[in-house]
Amino acid sequence: MLIERFDVEVFTPPCEPGAERYAAKARLTRDIAEVLPYLNATLRGAVYLPAAQALTWKKGGHNIAFHAYEIATSNATDREEAERELRGLIDLVNKTWERRAEITPDHDTHQRPAPMALYKLLPQTNCKQCGEPTCYTFAFKLGASQKSLDDCPVLHEEGYAGKLAQLQSMVIEAPSIGRSE
Site string for ligand SF4, 25-64 (x = CB under 6 A): ----------------------------------------
Q: What's the closest the beta carbon of residue 137 comes to ligand SF4, in angstroms?
A: 8
Indicate the residue among 52 and 116 with the shorter CB distance to ligand SF4.
116
Q: What's the closest the beta carbon of residue 160 comes to ligand SF4, in angstroms?
A: 9
Indicate the residue among 104 and 169 with the shorter CB distance to ligand SF4.
169
Q: What's the closest the beta carbon of residue 131 comes to ligand SF4, in angstroms?
A: 8
Q: What is the DSSP string of the chain?
A: -----EEEEEE--TTSTTS--EEEEEEESS--GGGHHHHHHHSTT-EEEGGGTEEEEEETTEEEEEETTEEEEEEESSHHHHHHHHHHHHHHHHHHHHTGGGS----S--PPPPHHHHHTTS------TTSSSSHHHHHHHHHTTSS-GGG-GGGGSTT-HHHHHHHHHHS--PPPSSS--
- Sign for the CA dihedral angle at 158, 163, 168, 172 comes to negative
Q: What's the closest the beta carbon of residue 140 comes to ligand SF4, in angstroms?
A: 11
Of the residues 90, 152, 171, 172, which one makes contact with ligand SF4 according to CB under 6 A: 152
Indicate the residue among 3 and 167 with the shorter CB distance to ligand SF4.
167
Site string for ligand SF4, 112-151 (x = CB under 6 A): ----------xx-xxxxxx-x--x--x-------------
Indicate the residue among 29 and 125 with the shorter CB distance to ligand SF4.
125
C-beta separation of 111 from 47 below 8 A: yes
Distance of CA 92 to the CA centre of its chain: 12
Residues engaged in binding ligand SF4 (CB under 6 A): 122-123, 125-130, 132, 135, 138, 152, 154
